[in-house]
Structure 1
Amino acid sequence: MSAPNNRAVILGGNRIPFARSNKQYSKATNLDMLTSAIDGLVARFGLAGENIGEVSGGAVLKHSKDFNLTREAVLGSALSPTTPAFDLGQACATGLEAVVSLNNKINAGQIESGIASGVDSTSDAPIVVNDSMREILLELTRAKTMVQKAKIASQIRPAYLAPQAPTTGEPRTGLSMGEHQAITAAAWGISRQAQDELAVASHRNLAAAWESGFFNDLTTPYLGVSRDTNMRPDSTVESLAKLNPVFGKKLAAEATMTAGNSTPLTDGASSVLLGSEDWAAEHGYTPLARLVDAEAAAVDFVDGAEGLLMAPAYAVPRLLARNGLTFDDFDVFEIHEAFASTVLSHLAAWESEEFCKDKVGLDKALGSIDRDKLNPLGSSLAAGHPFAATGGRIIATTAKYLKTTGKKRSLVSICAAGGQGLTAIVEAA
């Protein structure tokens, strides 16, 4: 009898088309969208009633009722209700972390199959009462008599009744992600034109991929939406140049970040099917790719001098060194486009001998990336960025791209709030 082959492979993915916040999905919840993304995957692979080893997933913006979000999505899907599930979170890297987690469990022989997922809705963001009102309400629940309750209730002030919506500001600094990135863009001297050119390429590449039918077996329509709604195939550098800056306007340097070269708030969900090679063979599935290795990093953006979204600039060199690889060994680079200037800052860091020597400990610059290999199917600037769903979109896209083009290796890189980043190497199966 031959030994079992537990090596994990990526078998496919499914997502709902991403939509701009407060548009087509304004009434959809995280649970609605995540269930739909998983059910689309289940239907595509004939997994109805199947007991999957585990389903992982998460959302950055969650209501308190969604404490068991992924498990609830499983219970609402066509999967067997005996399929276990768990939530995880790493801000914008949540979707990729979900893939890495299940990939490692399969490689370890703990499970034979898994579905990694992620979802986010900024349209249905949780609204809460302010802290003063919350404290009074909690005191009311502890009061024993009407007199005690009346005394506590008398402390309520009109200002306490104003609800609080979640913000994109970093808790430690109060600055939004965009304002943080504006500081980084200025520090690296990233030009407005370079940002606009990257944004245009993202839109055109994504549109071409949709037109070619590439996403037909990676997406399922949802609420009447069949394509990513943020996509602008007719974008030009000239049209983007007319937009006014929205971030960095108070800096000494020229403000260069606009709505056109920044990712909009987005709603959406994604899922990725993984399994051992044996499990895939038993089910008649053709493996697309393998996640070979991953590396996380974090930077001190609070007391240190590093930019909020620069962690991948540190993670990638470590990942490549551990695997004995250079940029020349990769056929495609899938770098999450939180902002055009984020990607360009990473590229500049890797090309900088000073950065690579002083900050990363290399003896020379890491090198340059062939721009023709960068996000060939578009990325977040065009598709949008539903925080926890982006990792699944990227992994499913790059796995299929490697399989259909005959290319060998992809580098995936995602920056995340809190000064974190997660990177991975994906190879064709």
Structure 2
Amino acid sequence: MKSRNVVIVGGARIPFSRSFTDYFGKTNHELAVPPLKALVERYDLKGERIGEVVMGAVIGHSDEIAIAREAALDSGLDPHTPAYDVRQACGTSLEGVIAVANKIALGQIEVGIAGGVDTNSDIPVEFTRRFTHYLMRLNAAKGGWKRFTQALKFRLGMLKPRIPAVVERRTGKRMGDHAEMMAKDWKLSREDQDTLAVESHHKAAKAYEDNFFDDLVIPFQGLDRDTFLRPKTSVEKISSLRPAFDRENGTLTAANSSPLSDGSAAVLLASEEEAKKRGWPILAKIVDAQTAAVDFVNGEGLLIAPTYAVSEMLQRNNMKLQDFDFYEIHEAFAAQVLATLNAWESEEYCREKLGLDKPLGSIDRSKLNVHGSSIALGHPYAATGARITATLGKLLSQEKGKRGLISICTAGGMGVTAILESPE
């Protein structure tokens, strides 16, 4: 079966907002619907059955088991449109893009939507498993006496709440702790991290001034832009902040790390033939994608997996790291971005970890995250991949013959990457 070209038609997202503020109490479902509705209305899909909708969330309640399906049902699409959830930490919506693109490439569907949503402002607060098991046994008890004796087993300590924490199950460390370890391993300075963070804010603010995000960000809850932007920030201003993870010797701070964020994003994909037939814009073509994982328990950096994925993808496409006009590297932490760049430049790392006979080399930093990234715009975990895909797609649509590289690190020591190209 011959593979078909898959193209990005358009993207939409709500403004990303600081957690526990503007979207406080809003559910994943409430945040997931607006970007889908925007794409349905913009591309005249109301009442139409499309190939599929793929979405996901990293953090959700037990009743949020079908976010994609429920959002699709409220989007205006024909109810016969199938949908399913995916979850791969911060790579969730890029993984969704890959899943939809693969089906389009194989001819199984013509049109699909991929996206993601997350909110820390409606996280599930659970009781202990001990209390859960107590209630289950109480509910299952037959007869008054058995129910009474089970009820007597209640202990007040069972009611101690369990608030979800973003920690690695196998190490017990927060992602920031792991990023701090990477910063020390790669000898990253605080100044370099702060500089990258400040650049992210300045570039994102300039993109808003130039109206770049006008058709990508849709108004929601009285907001029309992300709430994290600090256009006048400087290295001098943020240099006084205390380290956020290693209080004594750390270099990661709240300013050079992505903030806790709420938001959602979605991308419309189609076969090239279908897009042309419908008269839809073609922003970019999806060329290839790759995922990878590392053994972070035994010494590898938790967030370094994209270096593996990019290397494998480049080899498969007979390309060099320098063959790109734009690099979109998710800014989970400034340290993660800098560690990735250093790894690609390291002869020892590329030889021993990636199996290469020479380093991948350096990139032109002026091509990196040219309109800002997660530090300045925010990072609702599952939404970031769709945000980046739509942003890079629009960038590539502005000039022919351009290429873009996406690199996203995730919890669990994984990485999700992709190559996009300008339309012909």
TM category (shorter chain) comes to: over 0.9
1:217 Cα deviation (Å)? 0.8
Match of 1:295 among 290, 299, 307: 290
For 1:22-33, list aligned pairs within 5 A.
22-33=20-31
In the alignment, which residue of structure 2 is the partner of 1:77? 75
Give the match's secondary structure for 2:360. coil
1:37 Cα deviation (Å)? 1.2
In the alignment, which residue of structure 2 is the partner of 1:111? 109
Letter in 2 for 1:263: S
Can you list the C-alpha shifts for 1:27-80, whole angstroms capped at 9, x where unaligned? 211001111111111122222112111000100001111111110001111111
The more displaced of 393-402 and 153-162 is 153-162
CA distance in 2: counterparts of 1:405 and 1:33, whole angstroms: 33
Match of 1:279 among 267, 271, 274: 274
Match of 2:406 among 394, 398, 412: 412
Give the match's secondary structure for 2:322. helix
Whether the 8 Å contact between 1:17 and 1:226 is mirrored in structure 2 is yes
In the alignment, which residue of structure 1 is the partner of 2:185? 187
In the alignment, which residue of structure 2 is the partner of 1:309? 303
Aligned residues with identical type, % of pairs: 50
In the alignment, which residue of structure 2 is the partner of 1:163? 161
Instruction: Name the CA shift for 1:374/1:407 in 2 (closer, same or farther; >3 Å).
Output: farther
1:259 Cα deviation (Å)? 0.3
Instruction: Name the CA shift for 1:293/1:6 in 2 (closer, same or farther; >3 Å).
Output: closer
CA distance in 2: counterparts of 1:11 and 1:25, whole angstroms: 28
Whether the 8 Å contact between 1:51 and 1:79 is mirrored in structure 2 is yes
Flag structure 2 segments of 5+ consecutive residues without an equivalent. none
Letter in 2 for 1:24: D
Give the match's secondary structure for 1:360. coil
In the alignment, which residue of structure 2 is the partner of 1:395? 389
Whether the 8 Å contact between 2:399 and 2:422 is mirrored in structure 1 is no
1:405 Cα deviation (Å)? 3.8
In the alignment, which residue of structure 1 is the partner of 2:253? 258
For 1:49-128, list aligned pairs within 5 A.
49-128=47-126
Letter in 2 for 1:425: I
The more displaced of 129-138 and 41-50 is 41-50
Can you list the C-alpha shifts for 1:88-143, whole angstroms capped at 9, x where unaligned? 11111001000000001000000000000100011111111111101101111210
Give the match's secondary structure for 2:33. helix
Instruction: Name the CA shift for 1:427/1:350 in 2 (closer, same or farther; >3 Å).
Output: same
Letter in 2 for 1:267: D
Whether the 8 Å contact between 1:5 and 1:277 is mirrored in structure 2 is no
Give the match's secondary structure for 2:363. coil
Letter in 1 for 2:125: I
Flag structure 1 segments of 5+ consecutive residues without an equivalent. none
CA distance in 2: counterparts of 1:295 and 1:360, whole angstroms: 14
Correspondence 1:324 to 2:311:
no
Give the match's secondary structure for 1:355. helix
Instruction: Name the CA shift for 1:406/1:7 in 2 (closer, same or farther; >3 Å).
Output: closer
In the alignment, which residue of structure 1 is the partner of 2:134? 136
CA distance in 1: counterparts of 2:146 and 2:384, whole angstroms: 49
Can you list the C-alpha shifts for 1:189-222, whole angstroms capped at 9, x where unaligned? 0100000000001111111111111111112111
CA distance in 2: counterparts of 1:287 and 1:38, whole angstroms: 18
CA distance in 2: counterparts of 1:418 and 1:96, whole angstroms: 16
